[in-house]
């Protein structure tokens, strides 16, 4: 990693990172190189062309790029808005210098959440949850984090829209 990047992170953020790590509540994830903003445009073959480096990637390959905190999807049709067609452009926003260190930490209490279509339940390795139970957990125990794949995230958002 470039030392210049770490010099740009405030001492306060570095201390906070070390305190979290020393607390024993977090695991250190493998470090990665800080990333630039990337813009991908949809091509006629269904792949996305990166404006910055010329790579051609599928949407699933773009989704798993490490070091990014946000995807901005630019759409121009209703079908794209509802997710039936891929977006015209995907912009990947990297973690800022202040967010980079925290992106290297994983809360030990974090659980991987999946959605089981057969019984309509959200599941971790050990438990099953209804959507209402997840809402209660989020409200009463904000320190618990759930990691979701794209399919589970979409189902969670759908349930959230119906709940509101």
CB 49, CB 56: distance < 8 Å: yes
Mean pLDDT of the chain: 87
Starting at the earlier edge strand, list the strands of the sheet with 128-129.
128-129, 121-123, 111-116, 146-148
- Domain ranges for the chain, please list them: 1-106, 109-163
Question: Of all helices (H) and strands (E), which one includes residue 33?
Answer: none
Spatial CA neighbour of 86 closest among 40, 38, 149: 40
What are the tens digits of pLDDT across the range 106-117?
A: 888 788 889 988
DSSP annotation of 137: H
The token pair that represents 49 in the structure block:
């062309």
What are the tens digits of pLDDT across the range 107-147?
A: 887 888 899 888 888 998 888 988 888 888 888 877 778 88
Separation between Cα atoms, residue 164 and residue 151, nearest integer Å: 20
Separation between Cα atoms, residue 104 and residue 17, nearest integer Å: 9
What are the tens digits of pLDDT across the range 72-102?
A: 999 999 998 888 899 999 999 998 887 888 8
């Amino acid at each position: 990693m470039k030392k210049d990047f770490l010099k740009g992170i405030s001492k306060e953020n570095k201390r906070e990172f070390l305190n979290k790590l020393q607390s024993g509540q977090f695991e250190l994830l493998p470090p990665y190189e800080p990333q630039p903003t990337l813009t991908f445009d949809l091509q006629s073959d269904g792949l996305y062309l990166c404006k910055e480096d010329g790579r051609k990637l599928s949407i699933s390959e773009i989704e798993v790029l490490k070091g990014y905190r946000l995807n901005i999807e630019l759409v121009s049709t209703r079908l794209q808005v509802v997710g039936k067609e891929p977006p015209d452009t995907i912009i990947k926003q990297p973690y800022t210098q202040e967010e980079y260190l925290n992106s290297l930490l994983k809360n030990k209490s974090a659980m991987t959440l999946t959605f089981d279509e057969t019984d309509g339940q959200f599941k971790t390795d050990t438990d099953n949850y209804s959507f209402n139970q997840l809402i209660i957990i989020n409200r009463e125990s904000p320190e618990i984090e759930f990691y979701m794949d794209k399919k589970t995230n979409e189902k969670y958002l759908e349930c959230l829209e119906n709940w509101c």
